[in-house]
Structures are given as structure tokens and as C-alpha cells.
Structure 1
Amino acid sequence: MSDAALSARYDFAVSLAQQAGAVAMRHFRRSDGLRIIEKGPQDLVTAADHAIDALIRNAIQSRFPDDGILTEESGGDISAQVWVVDPIDGTGNFARGIAGFAISIAFSLNGDTRIGVVFDPVVEELFVARRGHGAFCNGERMRVSTTATMGRAAVEAGYSRRTSSSDYLALMARLLDAGCECVQFGSAARGLAQVAAGRIDGYVEAHLFAWDVLAGLLLVEEAGGYADPFPLEGNGQKGLPVRACTRGLARQLQEAMNGASDRLDKMS
């Protein structure tokens, strides 16, 4: 694919994320209520998720009819050039009127994420990255923090019910014992954007899907951080562990995720 074709898709993704954000805000904290469906325990979908999914899918099919599409709400399949989308990442927060959600749009070419856009419409922060071109928030270049020790790190440890509570609590214990400050904001896409912006130092979670993380992982990489590979295979709906952080924390966070019994180094 030519550089011009990628540039066109980048500009399109930025505009589309902002349009999706406007739809989200029309539904957010509506006085007449919001239609909410339970897909499972603590797994919600709203009318806004479906409206944004339709907006994004229709726009891509109209502008780039040969591109594949994979979204959380309507599925799809992996192809050589494919859009991977979460209409609202952090639906649990969104449905409760909590300002902690984002629109996530990624474009992958031959299994390599080339474009990543995460938009937080509440605070109007637009996080964007293109492979090899850096990562930016509202036009300002982002860099991950310089934190290299667990005793100085703030790490988001994401959780879903696809992970056992005992495994999650054990991970939290290892992080806390190693000296981390742990947070949990409820949106992987938004959390990864915070890592890229240098506001927190790492994000870990035992099981996430491509639509949750592809855009955010590219943000972290292009901001100079470390991110585990997240290969797109089959229909793209296989979940994997995720670790994204400063390069100085990569080994230590891997040990925590692996359940290493030895106490992690805590350098002053």
C-alpha cells in the first residue's frame, strides 16, 4: 500500500473517531435514560455502542470498500488490510455516567498495525499514531515516562471476568509488593493512551481482544515505550495477555504477570 493511501486512511480515522465521539456525547448521561443490554455479568452494551458501530462500519465500507472490518459489536474477519474497532471501550463506565471511556480505531496492514486513534470525547483528547511517525495528543508529541523502577511506577492492572478473581488478586499483590501504585480505570484503550502520554507507567491485563488494544499499543510503541506483540490470527477474536510500559519496566512487569516467586528488584 502506498504512503498516500495510508495517509488517506489516517486522516479518515481521525475524522471518524471525532464523529463517533460526538455520537457518544449525545448519549452520555442522557436525562431520559440509555438503553442498556447485559451480554453477561458486568459486560454491557448500549444503544450508543450500536449507533457508533453502525456509523464506523458504514463509513469504512463507503470510503474503503475493499478493506476488512472487525468490531467488538458486529464482529468480522481478518484480512490483509483491516480496520479493528471498539465503538466504546469502557462501556461499563459509559453506561453508569462515568467519564472513563474512549473510541478506539486501528488499521492493520498484513498483520502490522499502521494507524491507531484513541479519542476521549469527554475531555476532547485525541491520541493518534502512525507507524514510524510518532504519537501525538491534540497535536503535541507524546513520550512515555522515564520510570524504570517498580517503587516509582503507577501501573493500571485491568480486569475482566474472563480472568479468575484469584489470579487477578495474585497479580495485584505482586505489583503492590513490588512497590507499584496500582490503578484501574476500566478502559484498556484509554489506559494505554495514558501510558503513551507518560501519565502512568504501564498497563497490564491477562486477557484482552484486538479491538480493545491495537490502537493503544501502537500509541505506546510510537511514544517510545514497550508493547507486547498482539498478532491478528484467524477471525481476530482470540484474546491475549497485554503488557505495555516504559522500557525500563518491561522485565519487571513480565515477572509480575508470570507470577515469579522471587521478590522483584526495588531499586531506589
Structure 2
Amino acid sequence: MTSPTASTPDLPARYALAQRVAQQAAERGLAYYQGREDLNIEHKGGDRRDMVSAADCTLEDFIRAELQAAFPEDGFLGEESGSADLQARCLWVVDPIDGTACFLNGLHNWCVSIGMLLDGEPYIGAVADPNHRELFHGMRGQGAFVNDQPLRVSSASHVREGLLGVGTFYARGTEHFIPFLTQLLAEGGMFLRNGSGALMTAYVAAGRLLGYYETLLKSWDCVAGLVLVAEAGGRSNDFLRGDGLLQGNPYLVACPGVYQHVREMIGPMLDQD
């Protein structure tokens, strides 16, 4: 990876843009959410668990247009509309509504996630939750915040000291999930699944969750959150290894005091491509 140099693109401007567009998209999403009964719902690839609505597509179109109008040289990867110029130094990775199932079923656990990679590394992140009026945001070397409050991961040293976010959805890796939960419960741990990987990652950065493990996550669900966790003092596995950007990988973020313990409970599948 290339290190940022004097010729680095205007990162503060991109950071400000990510925050603004995430908030604007979230407010637009809230209007759709309040009228969700009228939305047309489709199922990706025939999988009835994997839903997409007109709101997802319209919001992604809005986000993509705003980002490209400001920085047309940047690349883009979105959950709904695919990719453009993945080799660009600055690559935006976007989920217009992370937690679509929650969104469509009237649950408040959804958000807009906008992340940016610089030379292949997570560098800027903005996660906007309009239902709770929270904007999680951060940039490498500049800290992470919820609205104006600095974020810091939990100081816990054992899984019994709080809640661990967990999740499984895709077939790949699900056979490891119940054995992991069995170990977690045996250790006195408790778990939460709220339906949004981006929000659960942000909650790790905020110290609300000890960590978050997903058997397979996609990059648009977590690139923004990886910035938040790193800037808040947390740890993560090498999520982007192999073809993680396009195909996803097993995923773990956690506070330093429990990271290794949780990693050992997960086992070697965490690092399998």
C-alpha cells in the first residue's frame, strides 16, 4: 500500500463530504422509512432473506451522485449499483441502508454507511442513524466521534463484562456459529444481534458493545466502521485480505481486552479466505 504523501488527495474535504452526505441520505431514508408500507420490495437472487427496496436504490444513486460531483476522480463501490474504478487512490464504499430487513419491518436498527479507502486502507468513515440522531464519524489520525463526542472502546477484560454483537447470514461460515455461541455462553458472555453490521461496529467503537463477530460480512457494511474502531482504540482482523473488498470475509472487531479471547473462541476460520 502507498503511504499518504504531500500529493495526497484533499482528505479533510472528503471527510466533511462523507459526514454531510451520510446525514442527508439518512434524512431522506427516514422519510422512506416513515412511509415504508408503500415501498416496492424485491429479493436478491431469489433469497427471501436478502431484501432490497426502492429506497435502497434511490439513496445509493443520491450518494453516488454527490460523491462523484465533488470528486469525479474517485472510485465507487456500492451494495446496489456495483463498482467503478476500483483502482482509484480514493475508493468510496457505500451501503445506502444497512439493516434493510429492520428498515422494512419497522425496527430502528438501520443506518447509512459511507466509508472511503485510501490506497486500499480504511481511512474515512461516516455512519448516520437518523432514528437516534447519531452520526458516527472518523478519519485516520483524527479520532472518531458520535456527533461531537469522542469515541473510545470498552476497557473490559472479559466477555462476561458486557455484550458481544454477533451475526450470521450467508451460508459460508454458518456451521461455526452455534459452536461459537456455545463457548461464549459457557464463558458467561451475552450476545446481541440488531440487524445492522455498520451500527454494531459503531457501537464497538463507542464502547457500547465489547466486540462484534460476523461469520461473513461484506465490505460496504464495515469499511466505515473499521475506521471508527481503529481510531477508538479497538482491534480488528484482516478483513480486506484476499478478495474481501468484493466478496467479504469473516469479521471481528473488539476492544483490546477481549479481542484475543473472542478470536480463540472463533478459531482458524477467521483467517480463511
For residues 57 and 235 of structure 1, do their structure 2 counterparts lie closer, same or farther at Cα, with a shift above 3 Å needed? Answer: farther
**Corresponding residue of 1:257:** 266
Structure 1 residues 56-71: aligned runs within 5 Å: 56-71=63-78
Superposed displacement of residue 47, structure 1: 0.9
For residues 232 and 86 of structure 1, do their structure 2 counterparts lie closer, same or farther at Cα, with a shift above 3 Å needed? Answer: farther
Give 5+ residue unaligned stretches, structure 2: none
**Corresponding residue of 2:201:** 192
* Contact 2:170/2:216 (8 A) holds in 1: no
**Corresponding residue of 1:12:** 17
For residues 257 and 99 of structure 1, do their structure 2 counterparts lie closer, same or farther at Cα, with a shift above 3 Å needed? Answer: same
| Aligned-partner SS, 1:200 | coil
Superposed displacement of residue 230, structure 1: 2.5
Superposed displacement of residue 232, structure 1: 6.6
Counterpart of 2:39, as a letter, is L
**Corresponding residue of 1:131:** 140
CA distance in 2 between counterparts of 1:64 and 1:232 reads 27
| Aligned-partner SS, 1:186 | coil
Which of these residues, 133, 149, 152, is aligned with residue 140 of structure 1? 149
* Contact 2:240/2:248 (8 A) holds in 1: no
CA distance in 2 between counterparts of 1:246 and 1:31 reads 36
Give 5+ residue unaligned stretches, structure 1: 261-268
**Corresponding residue of 1:30:** 35
Counterpart of 2:77, as a letter, is L
Q: Tell me whether 1:175 sits opposite 2:176 in the alignment.
A: no
Superposed displacement of residue 235, structure 1: 8.9
Count of aligned residue pairs for this structure pair: 260
Which of these residues, 223, 228, 235, is aligned with residue 226 of structure 1? 235
TM-score calculated relative to the size of structure 2: 0.90
Per-residue CA deviations over 1:138-195 (Å, capped at 9, x if unaligned) read 1110101101112213101112133455432222111111211111111000001111
CA distance in 2 between counterparts of 1:161 and 1:65 reads 34
CA distance in 2 between counterparts of 1:240 and 1:164 reads 9
CA distance in 1 between counterparts of 2:119 and 2:109 reads 32
Superposed displacement of residue 234, structure 1: 5.8
**Corresponding residue of 2:214:** 205
* Contact 2:127/2:225 (8 A) holds in 1: yes
TM-score calculated relative to the size of structure 1: 0.92
CA distance in 2 between counterparts of 1:94 and 1:51 reads 15
Counterpart of 2:209, as a letter, is I
| Aligned-partner SS, 2:247 | coil
CA distance in 1 between counterparts of 2:78 and 2:132 reads 24
**Corresponding residue of 1:149:** 158
Q: Structure 1 residue runs of 4+, over 6 Å off?
A: none
Per-residue CA deviations over 1:7-54 (Å, capped at 9, x if unaligned) read 000011000001100110111031652211111131000111001110
CA distance in 2 between counterparts of 1:45 and 1:120 reads 19
- Kindly report the root-mean-square deviation, in angstroms, between the aligned alpha carbons of the 2 structures: 1.9
Which of these residues, 243, 246, 251, is aligned with residue 252 of structure 2? 243
**Corresponding residue of 1:21:** 26
For residues 158 and 31 of structure 1, do their structure 2 counterparts lie closer, same or farther at Cα, with a shift above 3 Å needed? Answer: closer
| Aligned-partner SS, 1:236 | helix
CA distance in 2 between counterparts of 1:102 and 1:194 reads 12
For residues 31 and 172 of structure 1, do their structure 2 counterparts lie closer, same or farther at Cα, with a shift above 3 Å needed? Answer: closer
